[in-house]
Structure 1
């Protein structure tokens, strides 16, 4: 059977889809290993996962919450992606040497994976956990694209000896994109891109939840800004809690930073929730348009209210609106009345639910983890065939 090495950044939303694919490969009898942040991987992939630890750059998660637009993009590349690749490179190289994978799966934001795989002549596939890069967000910014190219060239020289020429975000062997055309829209995709839909594998959960609080008669909305936006979310979560005052609907608000004080009686505040088990029991989702939260909501046919903050979120929010599956709010202007109006709209206007269900049908048909594993198996077979005399 094959050996597959997953190279992932220290980001929950990027690890979770890979966990689903890795679990499917393991169930088919393949060997799976990981290169990345060991504590996070043991939490998400399970304590028995074979993990090759990679270092993290100092201050990797210390992005100022006020950064948006071009400043956020510059920070993402200059202060996170490139330093992360430099820090991870020794661990990834050690993992390749020790595990000797037949194929490598490199997340788009774990640049060391693609660069080192190409330099070693190892077949590799890109894991595109967000569709933003597929839409080429730098197409209208040639100077920014040139700057990114220079950063990648410098990185290739430092960690891969200057070997190779492929963009580490788009493997020529294939790109696994965890979305479908129904959400992505009409875009020109990189060669050998496979639209596999969300990969929703089983996840370890440490979140206790008061399931009896849910009311099957009254609609419930899940409110979440993900795991990386705590610093930017105080005003938004406060407004969201206030928005449900007087509404017939209920809200479950995820508040990992503990920023909320007193809330209306129809609002439940939790530091974390078991999101996948909870989604089938709610009626809509209010979120930051993070790709994983959006796809998990749409997998269950749930309409959305999206308030993007930065990075890929504005692109994903635009996709949700274009698909007819939700309403977009401006994050900085999303006060309680605007949130209440948008939530009421998606709960009462059936077209949003119908559009969400159309996307859900495409997700289910795409194959998810099973389809992704099938593509990786084929790549591994090709690799093994080349090794035979």
Structure 2
């Protein structure tokens, strides 16, 4: 029996890939605990999950809407990921001292997990919920790269082992990357211990009302529009455009639009608008997905062989969109500028078999399923734990 501590930021897309892995590790008889935001983790992983609470930001970080490129990258690290590491470190430290894990599995952007683990001399494994940083997005921006190196070195000096070197986003012991070579192309990986396991497709805790399955039209192609869990504030115009585009295609397409922020004021009769959908359950019934290029949504869609229309907003999303387009499994539109006519045309393009988008998506899906997902991830963690057993704890004084 091995003890695994999973460390995640308060972001659904970074937590979901590890939920199935945690369940698989528990099924094998291992002990699993989490460090992070308890309410969110228990909502996603189950109410009986063991969670060590970490301090979290008191308010959502709101980026200026026109901030893009290197400035957006620096803003995200300086205003969110670096402060998050400082906030989470005491909670992670308490989890390590109390739970005494053999292995810490830490999200790539919850660097407190890596730094606290190295300070305690515990093996840590990176969970990479996006493939964007494997293509070295800072390669052409050496000043930004040097700035990030300095920021991470400062965090290490305060939270980790100052004698260590290397990027805490890429564990030298192993990286679980929830993607595949067919999507990321021939990009060089950080080292030879990157394990491309494909998406973590596993049952999730139910959330929201039951889906109206009886309202799905059997004679029309089903197209889902979703902007993920973190973009409700930015998506009003786009969702309205998507609803109009799908309504225009109503003779052959049924649109399903996810609108958690209730931004749509006028809903066409032929379009389903819902606060939430059971995405993994719905994907086998879909013919296309329109999304923001969030890594989880992209990989889950491709796992099911569903082609994509991609409207990246920020962060890693333009890189992920580029990977999908390069693989032939989708087309890209401009989030802030696309109109209903162009978006409708993009949907028709991926639905049209002549473009090869579905065939490409299905090929990627086969490769993802062959990669092994949660089972392969758990296998790698078992092997890493076996190669690096934690020394037995010294007896307490007087015992």
SS at match of 2:6: strand
SS at match of 1:226: coil
Q: 1:161 deviation in Å?
A: 5.6
Bigger shift: residues 77-86 or 210-219: 210-219
What does residue range 230-245 of structure 1 map to in structure 2 within 5 Å?
A: 230-245=232-247
Q: 1:314 deviation in Å?
A: 0.4
Q: Equivalent residue for 1:331?
A: 335
Q: 1:383 deviation in Å?
A: 2.7
Q: Equivalent residue for 2:194?
A: 193
Mapped pair 1:302 → 2:306: yes
1:307 and 1:93 map into 2 onto residues whose CA distance is 39
Q: Equivalent residue for 1:377?
A: 382
What does residue range 221-370 of structure 1 map to in structure 2 within 5 Å?
A: 221-247=223-249, 248-350=252-354, 351-370=356-375
2:65 and 2:224 map into 1 onto residues whose CA distance is 23
Does structure 1 retain, via aligned residues, the 8 Å contact 2:119–2:159?
no
Does structure 1 retain, via aligned residues, the 8 Å contact 2:102–2:385?
yes
| Compared CA separation, residues 139 and 316, structure 1 to 2 (3 A) | same
Bigger shift: residues 62-71 or 299-308: 62-71
SS at match of 2:389: helix
What does residue range 1-389 of structure 1 map to in structure 2 within 5 Å?
A: 1-160=1-160, 162-191=162-191, 192-207=193-208, 208-247=210-249, 248-350=252-354, 351-384=356-389, 387=392
1:291 and 1:148 map into 2 onto residues whose CA distance is 22
Q: Equivalent residue for 2:397?
A: none
Q: 1:85 deviation in Å?
A: 0.3
Q: 1:280 deviation in Å?
A: 0.8
- In structure 2, runs of 5+ residues without a counterpart are 395-399
Relative contact order higher in (CA < 8 Å, ≥ 6 apart): 1
SS at match of 2:152: helix
Does structure 1 retain, via aligned residues, the 8 Å contact 2:61–2:79?
no
Partner deviation per Cα, 1:94-121 (whole Å, 9 max, x = no partner): 0000000010101011010111111211
1:292 and 1:118 map into 2 onto residues whose CA distance is 28
Does structure 1 retain, via aligned residues, the 8 Å contact 2:19–2:45?
yes
2:361 and 2:290 map into 1 onto residues whose CA distance is 14
2:282 and 2:65 map into 1 onto residues whose CA distance is 28
| Compared CA separation, residues 250 and 74, structure 1 to 2 (3 A) | same
What root-mean-square deviation, in Å, do the aligned CA atoms of Structure 1 and Structure 2 show? Answer: 1.5
Q: What count of residue pairs does the alignment treat as equivalent?
A: 389
1:61 and 1:297 map into 2 onto residues whose CA distance is 29
| Compared CA separation, residues 302 and 12, structure 1 to 2 (3 A) | same
SS at match of 2:218: coil
SS at match of 2:233: helix
SS at match of 1:294: helix
Q: 1:70 deviation in Å?
A: 2.6
| Compared CA separation, residues 61 and 26, structure 1 to 2 (3 A) | farther
Q: 1:64 deviation in Å?
A: 4.0
Partner deviation per Cα, 1:236-292 (whole Å, 9 max, x = no partner): 111001112221201110001100012222211011111110111111000000000
With the length of structure 1 as denominator, give the TM-score of the two structures. Answer: 0.97
- In structure 1, runs of 5+ residues without a counterpart are none
With the length of structure 2 as denominator, give the TM-score of the two structures. Answer: 0.95
SS at match of 1:125: strand
Partner deviation per Cα, 1:269-321 (whole Å, 9 max, x = no partner): 01111111011111100000000000010010001000101100001000100
2:17 and 2:123 map into 1 onto residues whose CA distance is 20
Does structure 2 retain, via aligned residues, the 8 Å contact 1:283–1:302?
yes
Does structure 2 retain, via aligned residues, the 8 Å contact 1:132–1:312?
yes
